[in-house]
Structure 1
Amino acid sequence: MDLKQSENNILKQPFFAKFWISRILSSTSFQMLSVAIGWQMYELTQDAFSLGMVGLAQFIPMLLLTLFVGQIADRYDRRRIVYISLVIEALTAAFLLLGSMGGWLGPGQILISAALIGACRAFEGPTANALLPQIVSKNILPRAISMSTTAIQTALILGPTIGGVLLAFGASTVYFLAAVALMVSALFTYLVKVEQVKNRKGATVSLRSFFLGLEYVKSKPVILGTISMDLFVVLLGGVTALLPIFVQDILQTGPWGLGLLRAAPAVGAIIVSVVLAYYPLKKSVGMILFGAIAVYGLATMVFAISTNLVLSLLALMVVGGSDVISMVIRSSLVQLQTPDELRGRVNAVNSLFTGTSFQMGEFRAGVMASFIGTVPTVFIGGIGSILVAGLWMYLFPSIRKLESLSKN
């Protein structure tokens, strides 16, 4: 690691730049695959419940593997774990490509592929987050986190937009480009040089070690509160799984409309994340977090009742912009307040709370929409997000009093 890295030229640091590009390609590919898989599933079934099942298929492996992944990430080469995960994701995209081209890709094969992608993401996500402090020095880590968040949000724009446009040429085109991008992402990850942590393999493997990340999070009320709040907000307020229904039945657009709706939250998020990268949060962090969650809920409610594409896009942009504030605060707290020997397991807990809540949120939305309708489901989710913010202000006063990211 180059200890003379300049804060103002972080993307000129060669190894961070490779890591940053790899994250963009990986996340973009995942979003492209999500668009194509959701669209194909709804075309095959015309059923909201089936869309929810895609989320469940990704949730189950993440739930079962995440804590195990944390221990692996703290004992072995994190770069290699990310590299292998990306290669398997690329092969899964190739499987979807072959099935789509051959005409034999059905709901069962889609669910299996979604589950395999979910398993790989369970390894890739928390391990890549834990890898970042081995690439940059501690004094520029907050800026690196913001730039990494920007990379992910950039992917959330590029992925759905590219996926939606390419769907006009068939899902096979999406799967092909995703497979290629994932292989390139794997190559960039392989070329990253990291600072090796001594004695990592000597750590004792035990049941207690397995749950040490949970114990650490429990001992830190600020970390526990922020990631658990995000869990319930995403579980209640997520709308991604239902976007194909909004596109076809409410807003009445084609695949291009789905791409725009999937990209809209990221447009707002990338604007906010870039601002945060240059003007980081320095005071009243806790109250800013609660305010952002309240805005998230209100914007979700507006999206639910909108029948105008422009208004829907604006509402989703606000959703994304407010959500990224929570993401940056949560990620910064986890990275800055966790020792390296626990960073993999703590990031795994963070991923378990936030990543699986996204998948379960999709399942919840699909099931709920099949009973009470799409619009009521999303509107109630927005109300629920606001209620969660209010309840967490009462349950976790330490968050409310949080002034900076570096101290509890």
Structure 2
Amino acid sequence: MAQPNDPYAALRFREFNIFLVVRFAMVLAWTMQFILIEWLVYTLTKDPLSLGIIGLMEVIPSVGMALFAGHIVDQREKRNLLIYCILGFSVVSLGLFIFSLPSVEASMEQKYQLGAIYGLVFLGGIVRSFLGPTIFSLIALIVPKRIYPNAATWSSSTWQLASVLGPALAGFSISWIGVHWSLCLIFGFSLVALAFLLRIPRKPILNPKIGEPVFQSLRDGLQFVFRNKAILGALTLDMIAVLFGGAVALLPVFAQDILEVGSEGFGILRAAPAVGAAITMLGSTRFPLHRHAGRKLLWAVFAFGLCIIVFGLSTMFWVSVGALFLSGAVDGVSMIIRQTILQLKTPDNMRGRVASVNSIFVGSSNELGAFESGVTARLMGTVPAVVFGGCMTLLTVGAMAWFSPRFRRLDLRDEVEAAD
């Protein structure tokens, strides 16, 4: 029997290994597809505003539908719901493949082609609102509770690895086979994910309130999150870190005007946080983070803020790369601890709704963080804006540690040991 401190504990469960293949294929396909859509749309328009519209078309349905998606996830069987999500994504990728056909591009007016692409992106945002809560809920039905911390680590590591490889593979595939056939490749990845998912049997529905009125269900989910100090604290820290530490949004400015390293340097800067996070996540399989989780999470977010300040002040390329790498490494720690808190503190009948609230916090803070970085950079200048964001992150951590000693003392060992 796998032990809680076994670094490969979750991997000893066959269904979890299949789940990791499914998640890797879907995240790889999703990140590739977003890069390809940006390339395709900008090639058609040569207008940077069109890139902003892509993000808007995805985030509006993703965040707007999140709570309702969480309610539905809690009311439905999870394996089949994930099948529907993958089928929905397949429709989007197949549609993009069709609308990128040379014959379609030649015969269709550009505004209609763009409208079709934006419409498919909007549909993808709806799928995304269901995908996250479904995956979060399914993990708890695949591995026993004592394995949740290790499963969260492997799942987050798989997500991070696919997130790193996806954009890189998209860039190479554009060069090798073009956008059109690259979109066909993405459709193929979705079919691979579907084929593996069918090897996982259906799971029981653990919600005793099947048929509960939707608004009562949504109210119960929100009340649970805001009354659970551990979950609320973890989500708040993550949101603040992303909101005020959004230096990534300003990387093109640093690459071109401050560090003067061009597109190649920009690529290295962009990849550095993801590489740091991936290494941390893989290493954490051997060093569990559930002991003194609250203290570790606070220190991780504090270190993240320091890294952002160093990056903002640096005028040396490799110092900037190192700061971003370390920011990703400590962000990987906070991501694992947050996912572990969510898995251990969330009842089975509320997993969909809690994951949906999490997606609202994370999704909205990503978009608002980019907006905040742009506004403060316009008002203060680029370097002061990044330093300001890092300082705000430090102040938030300090306030959380001072005003919430209960969160500071949070330890998840009791939950893990009780599950044995």
Task: Give me the whole-angstrom Cα distance separating, in 1, the residues matched to 2:32 and 2:413.
Answer: 33
Q: Which moved more, 1:347-356 or 1:133-142?
A: 347-356
Q: Please tell me whether residue 73 in structure 1 is matched to residue 69 in structure 2.
A: no
Alignment RMSD (CA, Å): 3.1
CA distance, structure 2, for counterparts of residue 137 and residue 110 of structure 1: 42
Identify if the C-alpha distance between structure 1 residues 199 and 30 changes in structure 2 by more than 3 Å, giving closer, same or farther. closer
Deviates more, 1:270-279 or 1:301-310: 301-310
State the identity as a percent: 34
Provide the residue aligned with 1:316 in structure 2.
Answer: 324
Give the equivalent residue in structure 1 for 2:356. 348
2:142 to 123, 135, 138: 135
Q: Quick one: which of 272, 280, 286 aligns to 1:278? A: 286
Specify whether residues 366 and 60 from structure 1 end up closer, same or farther in structure 2 by C-alpha distance, changes over 3 A only: farther
Kindly state the Cα deviation for residue 101 of structure 1 after the two structures are TM-superposed.
Answer: 4.3
Determine the C-alpha separation between the residues in 1 that align with 2:187 and 2:253: 27
Relative distance call for 1:347 and 1:113 in structure 2 (3 A) is same
| Residues 8-407 of structure 1 aligned to structure 2 (within 5 Å) | 8=8, 10-40=10-40, 44-45=45-46, 47=48, 51-102=51-102, 103=105, 104=110, 111-169=118-176, 170-197=178-205, 202-243=210-251, 251-254=260-263, 260-304=268-312, 306=314, 310-366=318-374, 375-404=383-412, 406=414
- Contact 2:80–2:202 (CA under 8 A) maintained in structure 1: no
Shift of 1:190: 2.8
Cα shift at 1:295? 1.8
Cα 1:212–1:60 shift into 2, 3 Å: same
Q: Distance in 1 between matches of 2:117 and 2:381?
A: 24
- Alpha-carbon spacing, 1:282–1:84, altered in 2? closer, same or farther (3 Å): closer
How far has the Cα of 1:181 moved from its partner?
A: 1.4
Partner of 1:278: helix, strand, or coil?
coil
Describe the superposition over 1:336-394 as per-residue Cα deviations: whole angstroms up to 9, x where unpaired: 11211112111221222123322333344456556666555444333332232223223
1:368 and 1:377 in contact (8 A); partners too? yes
Following the alignment from structure 2 to structure 1, what is the Cα–Cα distance between the partners of residues 340 and 413? 7
C-alpha displacement of 1:260: 4.1
Instruction: Report the Cα offset of residue 288 of structure 1.
Output: 1.7
> Which one has a bigger Cα radius of gyration?
2
TM-score scaled to structure 2, two decimals? 0.84
For the 8 Å contact 1:237–1:385, the answer to whether it is kept is: yes
Contact 1:282–1:403 under 8 Å retained in 2: yes
Give ranges in structure 1 of 5+ residues lacking alignment. none
The number of residues matched between the two structures is 403
Higher mean alpha-carbon deviation, 17-26 vs 305-314, is at 305-314
Q: What is the rounded CA distance, in whole Å, between the counterparts of 2:268 and 2:246 in structure 1?
A: 17
Distance 1:391 1:319 in 2: 21
CA spacing shift, 1:267–1:194, aligned 2, 3 Å? farther
The 3-state SS of whatever aligns with 1:295 is: helix
Task: Report the TM-score, using the length of structure 1 for normalisation.
Answer: 0.86
The 1:97–1:308 alpha-carbon spacing in structure 2 relative to 1, beyond 3 Å, is farther
DSSP 3-state at the match of 1:24: helix
